[in-house]
Each structure stands twice: as structure tokens, then as C-alpha cells.
Structure 1
Amino acid sequence: MQDLSSAEKRATIRKVTLRLVPILAIAYFFNSLEKTNIGLAALQMNESLGLTTAAFGLASGLLFVGYAVFEVPSNLIQYKVGARKWLARIMITWGACAAATGFVNSEASLYILRILLGIAEAGFYPGVILYFTLWVPKQYRGTMLSLFVLGGTLSSVIGSPLTGLLLTPDHYFGIESWRAMFVIEGIPAILVGVVCLFKLVDRPAEAKWLTGRERNWLESSIAAEHALVESNHSGKGVLRAIGDIRVLMLSLIYFCLKCGQYALAFFLPLMIVAFQTQAGTKMSTLQVSLMVAIPALVAIAPAILWARHSDKTGERFWHATIPAIVGAIGICVSAVLHEPVLIMIAICFAMIGLTSQSAPFYQIPGFFLTGAAAATAFGLINSLGNLGGFVAPTVFGTLKDATGNYVAPSLLMGGFLIVAAVLTALLPRMFKSLNPNQHAAQPVVASK
């Protein structure tokens, strides 16, 4: 291994981060926006298409059906053909499907477009995680992933007000504003996909913007990590990953986490509208979108600092457990409060937990899987986990219709997060191969 000094390593990671993360974070911005902008669109679309709350919840969640079915195949194809071509393909097709949502004319056509959008998007998030495992040593990945996830968080901070602004007029040249919004927000994803074809590089060895010593250090460090995992866990093999009980347990944990996350993502605009009755006020769509942005804005700094602390200490399990507990407390407390301001504070608390959890959590599969098995595991965890994005809005909407309020569905989603927290904390006890003393990432050491 051709090693570098601590300062040179940090400079190399900084160079890689500045080259790769911004374009991927921008892509994730639109990825997240086009999953959840239906929440704000619902303020006009539901009446236009005659959707009940339950039907809207089903439409929101159907995206994850197509997503789940094609997630693992998508990741395996990326492993074969490379991230540059495949991630670009994902972005271009999901942008086209997102824009096409503006042309739906019935409940059924909306359902079909949401399924197609899920199929198009399948593999993006786990594909980026897999991409990072081929680029940087594990002690830097948590921070790098948190910066990538920042793109998704900013979709609520910036994207939600943008969506609200686009929805402010009733029509654009006779076209309903919610339809125009879907088209306008779908086109940038296509453009970002085209840019990725020219900006991304599949492996460090192909990066002409790195020096020879930097390329050698990255390639040799990652190869050594993979060799260690394979010697300890037989970390290769697609079938091994699919049948690995640890992967299935991580999928269950992620499912519970996504139930809480997507319940908030899809229904927060409608929950805020419900504040109007309690507060005796009337809010415009733009005002609602600005309110939606507040929890995500509050969560940005804690999420990045939490990921850096996880990288610095090399600890992953408690760094994934504690945010789930924080999210559960926030959602459950919001369910029993009655003052809109206090409810929003509780939701902000929940969002901090939900946003901080993913970066340390997604470092765990790399403890025991590499290569095609890791690609399969990332895809399987994300696909089975994101079924929570189907279950949560469907159940949430049905319970809201049945009870007339958001108390019961919110408490149920908080319960899912408690289950996720308990299972994550117990992982090292359930599986000796996940003993944190054996697998703690090497802390990042400062240069002298």
C-alpha cells in the first residue's frame, strides 16, 4: 500500500468529496423532491382528481412498490456497468416519469405513474452508497454520506417553498398549477443525469484529477478493507447476501424507520393545514410549504455533526439507535399535543432523529459484505425498507379517515421507530459477527 500522510489523506478525501458529492447531492435533491412534492400538490390535486385521503395515501405509497421490485436488480446492473452510466440513466428516466405526472387525468393514471416513477428511481440511493464504498475508506464514508443526504434534506428546505411558489397561481395559461409544477420540477433531473455522464468516474483508478499517489492510496485502502471482510465473513456472493439473516434484519429495521420518515414527508403539509382550524387562520400554499421547510432546516446541522462524530469515534450501532429514539419521541409527543407551535417543535425534534440516522446505519452492511454481495445487500435493505414508504402513507391516510385526526396514525409510526431503535441496539448481541469491538471503523486521526 502506498500510504500518504494524514494531511495528504484529508486533502485527497476533500478533493473526492468536492468532485463527487455536489452533483450527487443535487441529484438527490430532485430525487427527494419528486418523491414527496405530491404532498403539497395534494392541496389542489386531490380536489381536481376527486381523491380521498386514503386514495392519496395509496398513490403516495405506490411509488415504493415499483421501487422495491427493481431495487436489487438495479444495484447489480450498476455493479456490472458502472455508476456513471447507470446513475445517469436512473436520473433521466425518473425525471421523465416525474414530468409525466402532470398529465394524469384520473385516480388510476396517477397510480400507474407513481409505480413507474418508483421503477425509474429504483437503485439510486443504494447505488450511491455502493459508489462511495468503491471510492473512500470506511472511516470517511459516514460524513460523505451525510453530505450527500443533505441534498435530500434541502429538498424540504428549498424545494418545498419552491413547490409552494409554483402552486400559488391557480393556473398557468389555462393549465392547473399542480400539473405545471410536476413538469417544471421533473425536467431538471433529466439535465442532471446528462451532466453525470460527463462528471462522474467509476473508480479512483480512472480519475485523472487525482495524483498517482492519491489514486494508489484510495485503491489499495479499499482493496485491503474488502479483503479483510472477505477473509472474516466470506463477504462475496449474491445469494449469500439475499439469504443473510443480518441483511434481512437490517431491512426490517430500515422498514420501521421509513414508516416514520415517509409518514411525515407525505402528510406534513396536510397536518399543517389542519392547524388552521385550531389557530383560526388561513394559510396559502406558499405559507404551508414554508412551514414544511422548518423541520428539515433545523435537522441539517445536527445530522452532519452526528455523522462526523460517528466517523471520528468509529462507532455505528448507537449512532444509528439514538436518532431512531429521538424520532420516536418527537412523533409520539406531536400526536398528544394540541398547540400548533408545540406540535411543530416536536416534529422538528423528530426530523433531527430521522435525518441523522441513515449515515451511520448504512455503514453496517460493509462490516460483513463486499462486491456483488454488498450491491445486493444495499439494494435489498433499501427496497424492503422502503416498502415502509408504501405501508406508512396508506395506513396513515386510512387511520386518519377512520378517526378524523392524526393522533392514532402518529402514535403508530412512533411505535415503528421504537422497534427500529430496539433492534438496532440489539444487533451486536444477536450476531457476534457484528461485535462493535471487532468492526469499529478506524477513527480519523489528525495530522501532527
Structure 2
Amino acid sequence: MSDLLRLATAGSVDDGKSTLVGRLLYDTKSVLADTLEAVQRASADRGLSTPDLSLLVDGLRAEREQGITIDVAYRYFATPNRSYVLADTPGHVQYTRNTVTGASTAQLAILLVDARKGVLEQTRRHAAVLALLGVPRLVLAVNKIDLVGFDKTVFDTIARDFTDYVTGLGYAAGALVIVPVSALHGDNVVERSTQTPWYTGPTLLEHLESVPVAPDPRDVPLRFPVQYVIRPRTPEHPDYRGYAGQVAAGVATPGDEVVVLPSGRRSRIERVDTADGPLDEATAGQSVTVLLADDIDISRGDVIAAADDQPKLVDELDATICWLAGKPLRAGARVLVKHGTRTVQAIVTELSGRFDEQNLSLVDGPESLSLNEIGRVVIRTSEQLPVDDYVASRRTGSFLVIDPADGGTLAAGLVGAPLPLRGGAPIQRDERDLVSPGP
């Protein structure tokens, strides 16, 4: 069975992201025959002699930009060595919030720049969001290198500018790979280009094939938010009481000592059930039903956690948020906070700072946060929540801020996540918790 790598793409408008994704799909033979035929016909109708590979993804992108249905489009492809889930995010500045969605489970991000334009404001904004979300590895694809005559000097200048910027974000040299590519012609995407003899690094696919994936989830303590309590009360199962949900982190194994939060009651996992029968263990991303040895009052929103390494119970969140709504956020706003399977009332008591992603600095005490802005806030909740720091556990260290009036999502929040400030301490990128469910 091949490894699974989750990756996200990001880039400014017209950097060629659609063509790059299409090229990966095409050159890895991950396009259905009828889809390819439709693209070939559409390309011929436009007077093109070769398939316009951007058409493999642009149909969904057009819907997205019209605000019809899709925030992030997920693509699936595979090679003999590895399977991939690619979160394709739009490039327009008003859709920066979708980068948060696409990158939230990514183990690697491909960030594109146009070789003619270099590193842009939106490039820096996307890189800052990726750093904030703790995406551990970056690939900078310097696209359209053919349009600058495969000039090494142009590539080196962009590489130097981007490396300087992401070093300030906390990325170490080993976490960044920079590749000169022409998505249109396929140079250094899957096949090595003869036009760039000065480039000795891997092609894009070679790097994707070789980059390490998430390590053993046993290194992470168990986190299991309860979604539903199962009590069939049938003659076959008169005393059955199971707790259904998805393992957010770690491993659930019969015999493990656990604690139920927020009550603090302790027990032991007696069995892990699925529709196909019991399991010896369930790892992060699996949806299962957990049975405990003791009869404990548990309901939706409770968290079953490792007894010897449990999350902290808090009613005040010191967090970084990315504001996703058109109306600005101000201190005193009453909101809902959705953490795991629990939703509680809350109030934003303080706006501590606004992140300037261009200068990697913090503006203290802003009056408000506007669409796509990132800031530090303090949120007081009506009930205690079992949370982890985001750098230690992505799933239980993140939350959503919801509008109580209409249920719309206002912000994505990260508990305790440090902002990538220039001159600050390097961001700790914990890769242990990168095993996550599908989109």
C-alpha cells in the first residue's frame, strides 16, 4: 500500500496554478479518458494545437469565483510510490480565507510565483498563512520560467527574495525546495528539463515522491471528540453503550486508560467497534465507536483523551484567528465557538494585535479585524473546553468562530499559535499530528 501525502497549492492570480495542477494530473496519467477528450475538444475550439491543461480544473474554479458552491477543490492522483490528496485553493485576494481551509490538513504546500513578476504581496500573504497553520514544508514553484528565457539570474533573485522572507517566518533551509518550472510545457514538473542545465535539484514530482510523510500517530496522545452516543436497546444488545466519533489525534486501543472531559471521570477503553466488527486499534482519521469499561455520563461534545496526557480545560482562549467575514470584528462581539463537536456561546473580550504579513510585524491594539486579516484575540467561553495548543495538536488546537445570528463562519482560530514575527523565535512545527481525515 502506497503512502498518502496531503498537499495544498497556493499562488497569486495568473501565476499558472491551474495549469500546474492540470500538468500533474495529466503527466501522472490521473485524468479519465472522457475528461481528457473534452479538454482536447475545448482546446481545439480555441485554436490550440495542444491540450490546455488548465481546463482540467478551471471549470470548478469559475464556479468558485462566482460564489456558487466550492471553497476548496480536492484533486486525487497517484503514482506507483504514493497517493496524493491535493487541496486546490483560489488565488484572488478575496479568497485568501480558502487557503486556511486548504492548508489546514496539508503536510506540504506548493506556492507558485510567476517568473516575470517575482514575489508579490499575495505571495507573502499566502506564505504567512501557511506558516501560521504550521504547514511543515514548502515548495516554491517559479513558474513560466520559459517566458524569461530560462534565465538563471531571474530564478536566483526570486529564490533569494523568497528564502529571506520565509526564513523570517521560521522556516529552516531544509523545509524549503525551490524549483524552476514551466507548467505549460512540463519543464521540471514531472520530467527534468533540458532547458535548465543550471538546476540540479529534483523535479516537482520527484520531491513529492521523496518527501517524508507523517510519522507514527502513536507519538501523539489520544483525542476523541464524541459525536453521538449509541444506545440501540435491542434484545441482541440490551446494555450496549458506545460513543461514536472520529479519532482526532493519536490511537484508540482496547485497554488504554482514558479520561473523559470536561467531567474528569476516568475509565478504560473496552472495545473499538466499526460496522465491519471490532478493531485492535483506531488511528487518527478513523470513524469508530468506542466502548468504555465504566458506565459514565457522556454526551456529544465531550472528549475522550489519554489519561496520562490530557488537554487543558479553559474558559478563555488566547488565540490567533484569521477573520473570514465581510463585517469587521470588534471587541465585545458575541459569537459561538465550535471546538471539535461542542459549540458554546462566547464573547471576544480583547483584540490584542493585528498581524502585518508584509512586514512580519504586529500592530498592537487594533480597533477591528477586517476580511482576511490575521490577529491575536482573547475569547471567553460560556463553558470550559478541553483544548491543546495548535502546535501540539492541529485538530484539538483549532476552532471556528460562528455568527449566532445566521450560523455563518466568521473566523478560523488557532489556540496559542505564535505569529511568525520577524526577529521572533522560530515557529515550532510539530509534524506528529499531521495524520488527518479526508476532505
Question: What is the TM-score normalised by the length of structure 2?
Answer: 0.25
Larger radius of gyration: 2
More strand by share: 2
